Amino acid sequence: MKLKDIKLNKNNPRIIKDDKFNKLKKSISEFPKMLELRPMVLDEDNVVLGGNMRLQALKDLQYTEIPDNWVKYAKDLSDEEKQRFIISDNIGFGDWDWDIIANEWDSELLLDWGLDIPNIDGVELSEEYGEDFTLKDGDKAPFQQITFTLADEQANTIQDAIKDIKATDEYKYVETFDNENSNGNAIYLIVRQWAEQKKL
């Protein structure tokens, strides 16, 4: 399909700028199969309902033609249904489980792929992360969230220590005080061990 035949939707309120837009272009360059897995959605007039920024990124990357399977048609939608799709397609439902991300995913890759994250290893949290963490029944008391600013080398040392302590048998039985954050429990165990050694 020729790119010149696809029309940007001027009424789409979702835009990506600067660094995020550059990351989108990089993602398309490195992983074009993504557009096959998540094609742009067009109406019967070839107007974009979903994928405005992907279309703009393709143009910036000097594409003039794309495979047909990078596009999907949503025909027979009413004007209201088209508007609803545009908004719904751009709403991010759900929340990230930062604990799983910190333990199971590579933070550098996630940043490279365009995910906005507070420091996922739990060392330096952004302002927006603030008090937003999940506890039973939504009650944060008697829990606290502590933010540290560290040099990269310090952060790496702490992250390595957290990873190492989680591999120990002692970590399996550490007193959690009903805290479900594994990094918090690991840091507590490290500090508790240090305090016990200091007494010797």
Q: Is the dihedral of CA 128, 129, 135, 140 positive or negative?
A: negative
State what percent of residues in the chain have pLDDT above 90: 35
Greater confidence (85 vs 11) lies with 85
Domains and CATH numbers, the chain: 3-90 (3.90.1530), 98-199 (no CATH)
Helix (H) or strand (E) holding 152: helix 152-166
Per-residue pLDDT band for 150 (boundaries 50, 70, 90) equals confident
- Worst-scoring range by mean pLDDT, 113-117, 132-136, 166-170? 132-136
Q: Tell me the β-bridge partners of 48.
A: 42
Q: What is the mean pLDDT of residues 70-88?
A: 90
Q: Which of 113, 88, 106, 144 is nearest to 22 (CA)?
A: 113
Q: Are 12 and 44 in contact (CB under 8 A)?
A: no
Q: What is the pLDDT of residue 117?
A: 66
Residue 136, Cβ density class (10 Å: 0-12 exposed, 13-18 middle, ≥19 buried): exposed
Predicted confidence band of residue 48 (pLDDT cuts 50, 70, 90) = very high
- Nearest-Å Rg of the Cα atoms of the chain is 23
